[in-house]
Structure 1
């Protein structure tokens, strides 16, 4: 499981319109192109195998920025504008991660591709949050497209990462050994989270109760807790909320790791679907928690 979350914080506020969404996406793509481009121009001869990776990544981000601009013009009749931004777009390609790779004597093409995969996974989580919190259907649909694009990019980058792994080890299938799955532990966590959300709902106002119960469906996704469960007093209820949020975040991490380790398309698609659902659920739980104090 990941030692730290891919996304350090949620988007600052819901995205209010399509212009703001494209302004965010454009800023992020331009920032990524610039930072990858700096690494492509840096380093000595020992950095050469890594430099070509960042040249390719920088070009991909420039093309993404152009595509975002074209999509924005098609949607609202003009290019993305900084004036549309209400908050600074989240950094999907942190300089600290790039500096660590640049300054390491052990930098490899595999490490560079692996970092790029991480960045697109971060983009997937970000846009899934945006979609989950969107108030307008048109914004939600556009954010979902961004999330799908990040998944597609991640798949392509994993392929490059796998090729680099093989090349560095000179073994045709060194990078394809199946890793031990964590989905069995995820099943237990899902069951425990189901019960936490149910208990949380019993003390929530009517609207929030309906929202919480909608996250666990009609009982078909897990065992229905006993109806004579003792309702928690306020202090215990706070602990139930914290535990539910922690378990929801753990599940998101497990599913993302599972997608990262997938060795066939069906397993990858299943893990990505579970991750998208889990991240959207986590965003809902955090929103409810922030409104209840």
Structure 2
């Protein structure tokens, strides 16, 4: 289960403060998921926009429940002015607000939501343990129980999504869908970089050629010693942008490194990840400028 970075800094003193904290947490999650949904829709990924919209709607429902509970027990809506300290972070978008939309999947979005709910459960468990009165303890335990229910619901949905993704991946393989092993992705990246190098101004041409050659060397190495690609990370279609593909490769290497225990293999994949991240940083910052330069000629 996901852990908090820090524990609550002080006990919650009143029910009014507890409701205010709960309201603030649910509000942040609802707003952040809605923002990501808007970005997904704006950048052309309506399927992911629907997932994040649903997550935001769920959080808005939780928000309404907290407000109703506060009004029923204390006769007033939650008051944010009653929060005495900044609550530990329980929401983490794990890069979804900046990652290329085509590199996200429904499974990854739901996995992120599960971890956020787990951190919220841990937070309320700490509040209950620190409570100075039975009233605060019971309310915090009820909040924790609610979050655990959300975890269970999202885990079931994530599991269904995983199995659906595996079935789709099997169908894609049977119908000659996109090959997504790292070696093939490196070759595809090289093929995308070659024409960019030809068109690039002199300042960027050598760097792009070097990246294309490096990608082909990586592909040969990965042919000899492949790394595994989880079914849940497979995409229905591969990005046509060199920057997006470079980001996908960096994520694949970092994800693979997280699951490795063999020190030699870990060092190899970490080296690939390091080169991929360096490549991505350069492409992100300089490729749009180069493209603008040669398009204006």
TM-score (ref. length: structure 2): 0.53
Q: Corresponding residue for 2:134? A: 137
Alignment of 1:159 with 2:156, yes or no, is: yes
Unaligned 5+ segments in structure 1 are: 173-293
1:141 positional shift? 0.3
Matched, 1:169 2:173: no
Report the 3-state secondary structure (helix = DSSP H, G, I; strand = E; otherwise coil) of the residue aligned with 2:88.
coil
1:12 to 1:99, Cα distance in 2 relative to 1, 3 A = same
Deviations 1:158-207 (A, max 9, x none): 111011111111179xxxxxxxxxxxxxxxxxxxxxxxxxxxxxxxxxxx
Larger Rg, first or second structure (1 or 2) = 2
Is 1:28–1:90's contact at 8 Å kept on the other side of the alignment? no
Q: Post-superposition shift, 1:15?
A: 0.4
Alignment of 1:1-293 (within 5 A): 6-43=3-40, 44=42, 47-99=45-97, 102-103=99-100, 105-170=102-167
Secondary structure at the residue paired with 1:87?
A: coil
Once residues 24 and 97 of structure 1 are traced to their aligned partners in structure 2, the CA distance between those partners, rounded to angstroms, is 25
Task: Give the number of aligned pairs.
Answer: 169
Query: Shift of residue 105 of structure 1?
Result: 4.1
Query: Which deviations, in whole Å up to 9, do the C-alpha atoms of 1:109-163 show, x marking residues without a partner?
Result: 0000111000111111000000000011100000001111111111110111011
What SS is found at the alignment partner of 2:9?
coil
Runs of 4+ in 1 over 3 A off after TM superposition: 95-98, 102-105
2:61 aligns to what SS in structure 1? Answer: helix
- Judging changes above 3 Å, is the alpha-carbon distance between structure 1 residues 141 and 26 closer, same or farther for their aligned structure 2 residues? same
5+ residue gaps in structure 2?
A: 170-297
SS in 1 for 2:77: coil
Question: What is the CA-CA distance between 1:54 and the residue it aligns to?
Answer: 0.7
Question: TM-score with structure 1 length normalisation?
Answer: 0.54
CA drift of 1:71 comes to: 0.3
Segment of structure 1 superposing worse, 89-98 or 70-79: 89-98
Stretch of structure 1 that moved more, 102-111 or 34-43:
102-111
For 1:72 and 1:97, locate their aligned partners in 2 and report how far apart those are by CA, in whole Å. 33
